[in-house]
Amino acid sequence: MSHVTDITQLYARYAFSIDGADLENLRGCFTDDGGIEIIGGPSFAGAEGLARLVAGRTAESPRHENANVLVDLAGDEHATGRAYFVLRGADGRTAAAGNYLDRLVRTEAGWRFAHRRITFTWRA
């Protein structure tokens, strides 16, 4: 697979992992010290932070949908990624929308998020 395909798969793996409250696979989406910064909200760094994020998920938590993933490679080891996301409630209605801005690094295990910045542009 190409680097861009591998990174696009990482975006999908993140969505399925967080929606399924699958901490092991979610951790596998990030570098050991990687984390999430929500603009105007909390931050979650490292394994402990990601565990807190997953612990807050419930059956009513919205499902993540990604769109328009754009990858800018900076050589074979670093990249920047951007994407839109929509969060849908259990009833299928849009609960929120926004965008990701990511720093990615290629590790021995594959591409991982080093930092994910989440900006909400709309909330129900």
The predicted-structure confidence for 59-118, as pLDDT tens digits, reads as follows 889 999 999 999 999 999 999 999 999 999 989 999 999 999 999 999 999 999 999 999
Q: What percent of the chain has pLDDT over 70?
A: 99
User: Are the C-beta atoms of 93 and 65 separated by less than 8 Å?
Assistant: no
pLDDT the model gives residue 14 = 97
Task: Name the pTM for this structure.
Answer: 0.94
pLDDT at position 59 is 82
The model's confidence at residue 18, banded by pLDDT at 50, 70 and 90, is very high
Is 80 exceeded by the pLDDT of residue 20? yes
Q: Show the CA angle centred on residue 108, arms to residues 107 and 113, nearest 5°.
A: 25
List the beta strands (DSSP E) in the chain.
Answer: 30-38, 43-45, 63-74, 78-88, 94-107, 110-123
Do the strands 110-123 and 94-107 form a parallel or antiparallel pair, or are they unpaired?
antiparallel
